[in-house]
Structure formats: structure tokens, C-alpha cells
Amino acid sequence: MLSSRSSAVVALAAAALLGAAAPAAAAPTAAGGYAALGDSYSSGTGAGSYGDSGGCKRSANSYAQRWADSHGPASFSFVACSGAVTADVLANQVSALTADTSLVTISIGGNDAGFADVMIDCNLGSDATCVAGNQGAQSFARTTLPGRLDGVYSQIAARAPAAQVVVFGYPHIYQLNGSCGIGLSETKRAAINQSSDVLAEVISAKAAAYGFTFVDGRTAFAGHEICASGDRWLNSVTVPVDESYHPTATGQGSGYYPALTAVTG
């Protein structure tokens, strides 16, 4: 049985990952409906102000809510949910899409690849354990995740055939050789960032195959990761622990949101 300290670390790690047209394009996009799908990075977990969304932690500070507030779409279906995997999107989220949906955003795949378990390994285990866990998850991302993304992306294309679809990638969690004096080793931080690289590689390739636009989270958050010397747009360890390793309200507003408006106007 885990100690209270170990239990907190496990909960923290499990929540970590479960939890970028011209301006003229903005008018037709806003004329239709907007559906925000995906996991915690799209729901806005870590950014506060969750209203009555319960465990899904849909934030008023999320890039999705900010876009809806500023663009006034005909309808807004905010169904992204903390902890979601591809199966959850298929079971609980794609039903929000219709022929009138003109914009779809989504981040998904990190939980499928098991990066929550990887964070447990990295928090509780040695450097070697952390590296091995990341390598295993990266292998899954390369071999199994593409098929799961096919299942989600094909449903989006079928249900909202006229929509502009924007797929969000995950940021690097850490700035390497940064200013953190404590915490995970540099070896562990590098292994975790490598997993973000593999996810970006896999997700961007599959998004391109469907003609969707990929927004690279690594670019959107560059210079603002944990251990960055300037403003950090990602939570480190927080209370509640499920918001750890997620974008802050500033990260959603200054990282993801302008990357989205760069695409839609």
C-alpha cells in the first residue's frame, strides 16, 4: 500500500497528461457552430473557473471558451473533458458535431499512449525507469495511436464535413538546462520532452492526412515551460494535484489561444 506521500505523487502523475488564415476567414467560421473536443489540455484543466463542469474541468479561461467569447459562433458545444481518451471522444463528444459545425478543435492522444503512467514512473522511479517508461509509451504512440486517431478523425470528417478542424499538440513540459534547482533530474525531463516530440510527430502526420490544421504546442509554449527563466505557462506541482503539468490561464490565453486565432482569424 502506498504512503500518503507516494499516493499524492501517483495522483499527481496520473493527472499530468489526462488529464497554430487570414482575418477574412473569421467571418465564415463564426457564422456556423463551434465544437471543442478533446482532453484536459482543451478543457482547460489547470486554468481555473470551471463553473458546473464537474470532473471535466472546462475552464472559462480555456482557449476554446476565449474563442467562443470573442468570435460569437452561432452555437458552441464545449465537450472536451479532463482525462479523455480517443474512446471517450467517440462515445461522448463527436455527437456534438453536425453538418452546420464550421469549426472543430481537439487535443487527444496523450492519455491513450499512457503518459500518466509514465509520469508515475518518473516521479517514483530511477532515471532508467523513467527513460524506459517513456520509450514504451513512445512505441505505443508510433504503432497503435495512429489507428485510434483514424477512428476519431474519420468521425469528425463524416459528421462535420464542412468544418475547419484544428488539432492541438502538446507542449514540452520542461525547458532543459533551465532554472529549476529541484525536482526531476535533467535526464527525466529530457525523456518526457522526447515523448512530447513523438506525440507531435504522430498527431501532426495523421492530422495532415485528413487535411486538418495542426497547432504545435511546443511552439506555442516555447520559452514558457516549467524551468523557464521567464513567465511559465505550465503548472508544476499544484493543489489540487490534478491541475499539475497543465497550462495555466495565461498559458491558455497567451499560448494556445493566439495560435488558434492565427489559423481562424
Q: Is 246 a catalytic residue?
A: yes
172 catalytic residue (yes or no): no
pTM for this predicted structure: 0.88
Smallest CA-to-CA distance from 17 within 140, 108, 79 is with: 108
Distance, C-alpha 187 to centroid of its chain = 23
Which residue is catalytic, options 71, 172, 224, 246? 246
Ordered per-residue pLDDT tens for the chain, 265 residues: 334 334 444 444 444 444 433 333 444 445 699 999 999 999 999 999 999 999 999 999 999 999 999 999 999 999 999 999 999 999 999 999 999 999 999 999 999 998 878 877 888 899 999 999 999 999 999 999 999 999 999 999 999 999 999 999 999 999 998 888 788 999 999 999 999 999 999 999 999 999 999 999 999 999 999 999 989 999 887 888 788 889 999 999 999 999 999 999 9
Residue spans of the domains in the chain: they are 4-264
Q: Which residue has the cell 470532473?
A: 55
Query: Pick the catalytic residue: 6, 40, 95, 244?
Result: 40
CATH T-level fold of 4-264: Rossmann fold (3.40.50)
